[in-house]
Amino acid sequence: MANVLINALVALLVGGATLSFSFEAETAGGAGSSAASGNSASQYVTQGTIVTAGEKYRMENSDAVVLSDGKVMCIYQRAIDEVILQEAAAGAAGIANPFAVLIGSDSNYEVSASDADAQGIPRKIVLKAKSGAKYTIRIKDYKKLPQVDMQQFVFRAEDFPTAVVTDLR
């Protein structure tokens, strides 16, 4: 069942979509708990939006903007006003697209999906890392986009006029 839900979500994203989400990261054995007991603590909670078209994406939340044209990934950290440019494949675990983990491109995670809507799109995705960390993504809303402005996936220095830019390519 989870594969069917994940496949429906990936098809939506690859075809061009926007979705709003909430994200919660938990680590096993958080503050005041024992890792052996299986207790966990929320370490990071945020919400944001992502726009996708094939391998291209733009994800924004209150802390960061991450965008990729499929070749170059740009990570803008709002708190320190810094942009890091790197090859897209050099991203977390070599994943060029954040949803590649959903299709099994990264064996470090166990993926489950639930709470599908009438179109078969999951409302909840849980990623469990081998390290014990758990990531919960809740899809609040989504919309298929018949046309996507491809310029929003390209780094433009004028979009971050005061930021320090570190180019790691």
Question: Residue 67: in which H helix or E strand, if any?
Answer: strand 64-68
The structure's pTM equals 0.80
> How does pLDDT run along the chain (169 residues), one tens digit per residue?
568 888 888 889 888 999 999 988 887 654 444 444 455 566 888 999 999 998 899 999 999 999 999 889 999 999 999 999 998 875 555 455 666 667 665 567 788 888 999 999 999 999 888 888 898 999 999 999 989 999 999 999 999 999 999 999 8
**CA-CA distance, 25 to 142, in Å (whole number)?**
21
CB 77 within 8 A of CB 66: no
All structural domains of the chain: 2-167 (2.50.20.10)
